[in-house]
Chain A
C-alpha cells in the first residue's frame, strides 16, 4: 500500500536541517539561519527583544518546574507540564497583539505568562480551589479547557463573532483582531478540531490553529495519530498549513505573526504545526518511562529551546553571564512567589459554586444557594485554629 502524502507547495522548500518542511530561524546550536520568507517578519527584533524571549523562556520553565514540585509536595492535585514546549509558547505568545484572543488547552502556561496572567492564578484549577481563577477578558486569555480539542470550536465561534463585529480587515492595526486556538497532536484526531477547521475555513474566520505537536497524546505516539505531517491536513480543509520548529522561539514568532496578520487582514485561518517534543510526563500522574525510550529524550535534549537562545545571545554578544545569572535569580524569586501564592490560595466558600453559573442567577439557583448557606449555618462554628 502506498500513501499519497503530496509534495510541499512551492515556496515550502526551505532547507532546515534534516526536515526540509520545517521553518527554522535558529538552529539548535544557536546559529541564525536566513529565511527569505520569514526574515522580514522578525526584522524588528532587537537583541533586547531576544533577551526578553530568553527571560520568558526561563521563567516559563521555572513556573512549570515549581508547579511540578508543588504537586509532589502535595499542594496540587495535578499539573500538566510544558517542559520542552517553551519555545512554541513564548514565540507564539509574543506574536499576539493586545486585542487578540487566546483559547488555550490546560498546558499553555508559557502563553499565559506572555499575556500577563499572574502565574499563581494558574495553580488554582490544579489545586482544586477554583475553576480557573483569572478573568479571561482582562488579558484576552480564556480559561484552560480540559476537554481535549473543545477550545478550537470556542475559538472559531469567537473568531466568527469578531468578523460580525467588523473587527477584521479594516487596516487599523489596533482594531483588526485575530484569535489563536492552541491544541496538540492528540487533539488533531478529535471531531471537535476537525469541525472547527471546517467552520473556520467555510466562514474564513480570523483564527490561527496553533498545534503544538509534542509527539505524544499521553502514551499514544504521533505515528498512531496521522499518516501525513499534521500541517498538511489544512490543505484538505482549504486553508494554508505550515510546520515550524517548535523549539525555535524566533521561528515560532515569525510564523505566528504571519498567520495572525493573515487572520486580521480577513484572509482566513492558518494551521501552524509547531514541531516540538514533550520532555516531561503528560501530567504529574503519568510515567512516560513506561512507553517511550530514553534515547528519544536524549535526542530532543540537544534541541532545547532555551539553550539555543542562550547560545545565540552568547555568540552575538547580546548578553553576558551577568544577564543569565540575573534571570536565574529572578526565576528563583518567581518560584518562591509561586510557592507562597499557592499555599495562600484561599479555599473557596462552599456557596461559591453558585456564583459563576449564570451572569444573573436564576431563582432556583438562588434558592439552592440560600438553602446550602442555611444548612452550613446550622453547624457549630469550627474550632479556632491554633
Chain B
C-alpha cells in the first residue's frame, strides 16, 4: 500500500495565521519531484509559490482553489512510495511547473515523513507552521496534583465564582512560568498569598498552596465564611469609594509624597481647651485639639506659604494661595470625604471650632454641598479619634500638605527635668515634594508643633 504524506500549509511569512489557495499547479495523479511548485498561495503579505517537500504522485488536493485555510492545514497528499514516484506522468501531462535539471538527480528518495496523518499521529511542530501548530496537547504532570476545577457547574454561584476568578487573576503579579505552574496544578492564582518581591507570587507560593499549605479556592468553594455568610462578598465600587480610589491613586502617583513626624507635649493646649470650655463664649461649642490644630496651621502657614500652594502642571507654575480652605477628612457612612472650610485663616478659634463641627455634621449626614468638597488648599486628617498615634496621609489631589493628628494621651514625658505624665501626641505631615522642600515642610511642622506645645506662641506670630 502506498505511503501518503501530507503537506501542511506553512507559515511563509513569520507569524501569518492563514493563506488563500490561489491556484493549484498540479492535479491528482500528477508526478511531482521535490521542490516542484505545486500551489500558489496568497498570504496577508504576498503571493507565494509553494514547492513540494515530497517526491511522488499527487494523491489528493485537500483544499479547493479560492479557499482560505489556517496555517497547519493539510493541503495536498502525495503518495511517496518508490513505485508511485517511479510511475511516469501520464503522456501529455506536464509534471508540474518549473521542471528543471536532470531527472535522475532530481528523483531523490522521499525523506522520511515526520508528519503523520491527523489520526493519532504525533504532531511534529515545525518551525514554519506558525503559532497555531504549537498549541498541541499538554503533557500530564507526573505528580498527580489533583485539584481539578470544581465540577459543580450549573449553579449560578459557580459561574459567578469562575468569572470572578478570571477577573481577579488579571491583577495577580507572577511570572509566566509560575502562572503556568499554577494552571497545571489547578491552583487559583488569586488565592495565593504572594511572598515574592513587589508582591509577586512565586513558584514556592504556588507549590505551598498545591501541597495544601494554604487552601486553594477551588478546594473549599462550597464552605461558608463567618457567621454562615458567603466566604466572599463582592461590593461594587461606587460613588465615594470610587472617587476616593481615583483620588488617592492620582495623588499618590503624581505628587511625590514626603511624610515627617513630630511628637509633642500638648499639655498646655489641653489646659487651654479645658479653660475655654468653661468660658461663656464657647458655651456649648465642642472644642477639641483638632480646632486648635486648625488654628495653629492657619497661623503657621503665613510663615511658610508654599505648603498651601498648588502645582499647576499644565501651566508649569506654582500657584501661591493667600487664603486657606482647610479640608477636614471625615469618616462618613458613605466613605471618606474631605470637605473644606473656606477662608479658614480669617476665622477665630471659636468660629473655626463651630465651622469644623458643622462641616463634620453635614458631611456625616450627606448634606454637605458640592462646593464644600472642592477648592481645598490644605487638609487635616484626625486619625487620633481612632486611637492611633500617626500615619502617612495621602494628599488630597491638588493640595500640597496634609496633617495627620494622632491620639492625644497621657504619657510619661520629661518635663522640667523630671518624668511626668503629660498629654502627648504625634503630628504627621505629608507634603508634595515637587513644590515643598524638606526645609519648608519641616519648618511648617515644627511651627505648628510649637504652637500646640505652647499656644501663647501665637501672640508672637499674629
Which residues of A does B touch, CB under 8 Å? 66, 69, 71-78, 127-129, 284-287, 289-290, 325, 328-329, 332-333, 335-336, 339-340, 343, 371, 375, 377-380, 382-383, 385-386
Contact = CB atoms under 8 A, between A and B. Distances in A.
Contacts of B112: 343
Contact of B35 (A69, A74, A286): A69
Nearest to B49: A72
A339 B122 contact: no
Contacts of B49: 72
A336 B106 CA distance: 9
Contact of A77 (B50, B128, B142, B143): B128
B127 to A, nearest CB: 4
A379 B127 contact: no
Given A72-B12, A73-B128, A380 B140 contact: yes
Given A74-B11, A325-B102, A339 B114 contact: no
A71 B12 contact: yes
Contact of B13 (A285, A325, A371, A385): A285
Tell which of B11, B101, B111, B120 has the most Cβ of chain A within 10 Å: B111
A284 B127 contact: no
A361 to B, nearest CB: 20
Interface of B: 7-14, 34-35, 45-51, 53, 101-102, 105-106, 108, 111-112, 114, 116, 120-122, 126-129, 139-143, 177, 181, 203
Contacts of B50: 72-73
B186 to A, nearest CB: 14
A114 to B, nearest CB: 24
Contacts of B203: 371
B127 A75 contact: yes
A286 B13 CA distance: 8
B106 A332 contact: yes
Contact of A69 (B9, B51, B143): B51
Contact of B128 (A71, A371, A375, A380): A71
A378 B180 CA distance: 13
Contacts of A290: 46
Contacts, number: 101
Contacts of A380: 139-142
Given A75-B128, A77-B128, A339-B108, 6 more contacts: A72-B49, A74-B8, A284-B13, A332-B106, A378-B142, A379-B140
A63 to B, nearest CB: 14
What 10 A-B pairs come out closest when comparing CB atoms? A74-B10, A287-B46, A74-B128, A73-B53, A332-B105, A77-B127, A285-B13, A380-B140, A69-B51, A380-B142
Contacts of B48: 72, 287
A378 B12 contact: no
27 contacts: A69-B34, A72-B10, A72-B49, A72-B50, A73-B10, A73-B53, A73-B128, A74-B126, A74-B127, A77-B127, A78-B14, A127-B127, A285-B13, A285-B14, A289-B47, A290-B46, A329-B102, A329-B105, A339-B108, A343-B112, A371-B203, A377-B142, A379-B141, A379-B142, A380-B142, A382-B139, A386-B121
A350 B7 CA distance: 28
Contact of B47 (A69, A287, A335, A379): A287
Contacts of A287: 45-48
Nearest to B177: A375
A73 B142 CA distance: 36
Contacts of A385: 122
Contacts of A328: 101-102, 105
